[in-house]
């Protein structure tokens, strides 16, 4: 089991002082893990791409057969749970959403707050998804795709400010 592995954290990554990152976890450049979040790569691996953010009180875990992999410019809203799933680039996971084992979320998607993505569900690129169980409602607009990316970049800047406050960055 990868519980004895150490996390690999790229440069300019903010990890809040009370966040937990343990096991086989890799976090890409410019990403952030916020207050109270838990990333537990003790059964398989977790990979977080560049400029992604795992917001307050999220849980990211996996099982032995199902790693968790997030692309670049992914926003995971407060208190979401991601377990053994894959999330494509430039995707927003809404607050309190739950994504279960072997689910695959495409690129440029919006998963609404509180949505539950059941095991083995495949969500195509450019989908707005909502409900319990979640269903594709419509395609994401170009404006929404741009907003997802901008939101991720806002968190890159916010993370820099928090690192400055904690003395991890100069000027």
| Domains of the chain from N-terminus onward | 2-165 (2.160.10.10)
pLDDT for 15:
97
Q: What is the tens place of the pLDDT at every residue in 155-168?
A: 999 999 999 998 76
- Please give the share of the chain, as a percent, with pLDDT higher than 90: 92
Start-to-end Cα distance in the chain = 41
In the predicted model, residues of the chain with pLDDT beneath 70 are 1-3, 168-171
Q: How far is CA 74 from CA 6, 108, 148, in A?
A: 23, 9, 8
Q: Which of 171, 149, 151 is nearest to 160 (CA)?
A: 171
Residue bearing tokens 């968190």: 155
CB atoms within 10 A of CB 78: 17
Q: Give the rounded distance of the alpha carbon of 28 from its chain centre.
A: 11
């Amino acid at each position: 089991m990868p519980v004895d592995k150490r996390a690999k954290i790229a440069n300019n990554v903010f990890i809040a002082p009370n966040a937990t990152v343990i096991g086989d976890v890799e976090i890409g450049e410019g990403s952030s893990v916020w207050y109270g979040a838990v990333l537990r790569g003790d059964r398989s691996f977790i990979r977080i791409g560049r400029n992604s953010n795992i917001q307050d009180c999220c849980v990211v875990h996996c099982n032995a057969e199902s790693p968790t992999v997030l692309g670049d410019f992914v926003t995971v809203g407060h208190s979401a749970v991601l377990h053994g799933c894959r999330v494509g680039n430039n995707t927003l996971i809404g607050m309190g959403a739950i994504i279960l084992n072997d689910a695959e979320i495409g690129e440029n998607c919006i998963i609404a707050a509180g949505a539950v993505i059941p095991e083995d569900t495949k969500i195509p690129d450019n989908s707005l998804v909502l409900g319990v169980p979640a269903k594709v409602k419509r395609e994401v607009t170009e404006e929404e795709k741009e907003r997802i990316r901008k939101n991720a970049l806002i968190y890159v800047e916010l993370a820099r400010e928090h690192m400055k406050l904690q003395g991890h960055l100069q000027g």
